Amino acid sequence: MDKTTITLHTAFQIGTVDPRIFGGFLEHMGRTVYEGVFDPKSVHADEDGFRRDVLESLRQLQMTAVRYPGGNFASGYHWLDGVGPREKRPTVRELAWQSIEPNHFGTDEYIKLCRKMEWTPMLTVNLGTGSPEEARNWVEYCNCKGGTKYADKRIANRNETPYNVNLWCLGNEMDGFWQLGHVPADQYAVRAQQAAKMMKDTDGSIELVVCGSCAVGMSTYMEWDRQVLEYLGDYADYISLHRYVGNRNNDTADYLAVINSIDRQIEQMDAVCRFVQAKRRSHKRAYLCFDEWNVWYKNMQIDGGGKFAPHLIEEIYNLEDALVVAGFLNSFIRHADVVRIANIAQIVNVIAPVLTKGDELLVQSIFYPFEMFSRRRNGISLRASIDGPSYESKSVGPVRFVDASAIIDEDCLHVFTINRSSDETADIQVDLADRPIDSLISAEVLSGPDAKAANSFEKPDVIKSRSFADVKTISGQASYELPPLSIVAATFKVK
Ligand code: AHR
């Protein structure tokens, strides 16, 4: 393959990378909570019932904002069911996933977990079957000092210090007909505005995420977003977008081209935000919160059959999926000026980087790109001019074999590259035009025997990141070879 040149300049800045784009998502679905993060009967359980092995593994990903309790689950959830003495909490039929929910894990356990993991809490209120007032009461429970009903309830539950939950989502995927309490955009907008007003009246410091289109294929795509943003006005700090992708036609090259369509989705959603801002002649603009994203297409088991902690959508991830996950992250970094929050869905067992089976734990392929990027996330995203060979994809037209992003952090330059070719090595040259690259500080590569190679409990190390030293820094430029179907994340010292 001909050489790919990545040219950067420190003057061509996109924006500071918001660490919250390295967020996660913890939903009461399948075995994410129970048998995932929380399993008091496990041999791995700590003093609070959290699984040590799961937390240890997730800690390496340094996740920031972790969204809870759903997802579709949130649209039928009454938060009061999940607080107070555990033995008094009701067991309920959970409709989104047809499961049994004992409410043994609720707001207080979630906050305890966030504190333990140094996660930023992010709560989704029920705007499906719940009321705007119920949402407001949750803000009081979480954020207010004692002296009033719900704050006193938290204190009675032995949590004196307010939780200071700053990020609140106004419902989940309310544009989807599958959503409990789904309504058309105009009705959702009224409901969300009522909730937003009362929630901000209770705590003026919180930030709100309004429900945007949950998929680019929705018939209301963009129109839903316009209507909701116009009605919510200044209450909308962020608008949500979701994306699940997959290799449904078993065409690796086409699948990997999906990365370019993620760029497009972000740009389209940003266009609506700018349009509404201009139309309202407002100083305030909504930013993007990509609060569900991942690969999901192989395991579509979403019916829990009336069971507790059923095995739902426990996707097994392979090498090509890991490349797509890296592509999502490249896209978020390339759009650092507009994407402020993003949450990989989900964190354990359900479409997740780690999987449990009894006492065992498996690290999946998608864990590694998240880790490689996350540890290099600080700094300012730079516009990358990429010059190199491309191929014609069926779904999104011409795409370059190499996908890339870059972050400058004072004297460090982080470069993230993905080679989408299945059979050719990509020669990469990185040139930071106004500052010579001095030396390599660290780099890792993720590659594997073929696109479908995956880890399993029997063979857990098939796809695993390795340190990568084969990088030359000559005459102020860096060069290296990207193996077929691989990701390299590298940090350079610059003069
Ligand atoms: O992450 C699984 C589900 O996908 C979420 O609950 C829902 O919001 C989305 O459709």
User: Does position 1 have pLDDT exceeding 90, yes or no?
Assistant: no
Pocket test for ligand 1, best of 124, 127, 172 (most atoms within 8 A of CB): 172
Say if ligand 1 is within 6 A of residue 261 CB: no
Say if ligand 1 is within 6 A of residue 212 CB: no
Q: How far is the CA of 244 from the centre of ligand 1 (A)?
A: 9
Which atom from ligand 1 is nearest to the alpha carbon of 27?
6
Q: For the chain, what percentages of helix, strand and coil (3-state, to nearest 5) are there?
A: 30, 30, 45
User: Does position 324 have pLDDT exceeding 90, yes or no?
Assistant: yes
Please report where in the chains the tokens 């009336």 appear, as a residue.
306
- Tell me if the bond preceding 301 is cis, omega within 30° of 0: no
User: Does position 107 have pLDDT exceeding 90, yes or no?
Assistant: yes
Q: How far is the CA of 306 from the centre of ligand 1 (A)?
A: 18
Pocket test for ligand 1, best of 27, 97, 289, 348 (most atoms within 8 A of CB): 27
Helical H segments across 35-160, by residue range: 52-59, 107-117, 132-143, 149-156
Q: How far is the CA of 295 from the centre of ligand 1 (A)?
A: 12
Percent of the chain with pLDDT over 70: 100
Which atom from ligand 1 is nearest to the alpha carbon of 71?
6
pLDDT for the residue 427: 98
Write the pLDDT tens digit of every residue in 179-230.
Answer: 999 999 999 999 999 999 999 999 999 999 999 999 999 999 999 999 999 9
Report how far residue 280's alpha carbon sits from residue 252's, in angstroms, rounded to the nearest whole number: 44
Beta bridge partners of 478: 430, 473
What mean pLDDT do residues 398-414 have?
98
* Burial grade of 306 (CB within 10 A; 0-12, 13-18, 19 or more): exposed
* Burial grade of 230 (CB within 10 A; 0-12, 13-18, 19 or more): middle
Find out whether 7 and 383 touch, Cβ atoms under 8 Å. no
| Catalytic residue status for 173 | yes
Query: What topology does CATH give the domain 18-377?
Result: TIM Barrel (3.20.20)
Q: How far is the CA of 167 from the centre of ligand 1 (A)?
A: 19
Please list the residue range(s) of the chain that carry CATH number 2.60.40.1180.
4-10+381-494
Please report where in the chains the tokens 């569900």 appear, as a residue.
292
The residue annotated as part of the active site, out of 94, 292, 320, 444, is: 292
Report how far residue 284's alpha carbon sits from residue 276's, in angstroms, rounded to the nearest whole number: 10
Which atom from ligand 1 is nearest to the alpha carbon of 72?
6
Write the pLDDT tens digit of every residue in 120-154.
Answer: 999 999 999 999 999 999 999 999 999 999 999 99
Write the pLDDT tens digit of every residue in 79-92.
Answer: 999 999 999 999 99
Which atom from ligand 1 is nearest to the alpha carbon of 294?
1
SS3 31: coil
* CA-closest residue to ligand 1 atom 7: 71
Say if ligand 1 is within 6 A of residue 276 CB: no
Q: How far is the CA of 473 from the centre of ligand 1 (A)?
A: 44
pTM for the predicted model, two decimal places:
0.98
pLDDT bucket at 408, cuts 50 / 70 / 90? very high
What is the gyration radius of the CA atoms in the chain, in angstroms?
Answer: 22
Report how far residue 344's alpha carbon sits from residue 325's, in angstroms, rounded to the nearest whole number: 9
Q: How large is the angle between the packed helices 107-117 and 132-143, nearest 10 degrees?
A: 50
Query: What topology does CATH give the domain 4-10+381-494?
Result: Immunoglobulin-like (2.60.40)
User: Does position 416 have pLDDT exceeding 90, yes or no?
Assistant: yes
pLDDT bucket at 362, cuts 50 / 70 / 90? very high
Say if ligand 1 is within 6 A of residue 169 CB: no
pLDDT for the residue 376: 98
Find out whether 395 and 262 touch, Cβ atoms under 8 Å. no
Averaged pLDDT of the chain: 98
Write the pLDDT tens digit of every residue in 277-296.
Answer: 999 999 999 999 999 999 99
Write the pLDDT tens digit of every residue in 325-361.
Answer: 999 999 999 999 999 999 999 999 999 999 999 999 9
| Catalytic residue status for 360 | no
Write the pLDDT tens digit of every residue in 37-64.
Answer: 999 999 999 999 999 999 999 999 999 9
Which atom from ligand 1 is nearest to the alpha carbon of 351?
1
Say if ligand 1 is within 6 A of residue 76 CB: no
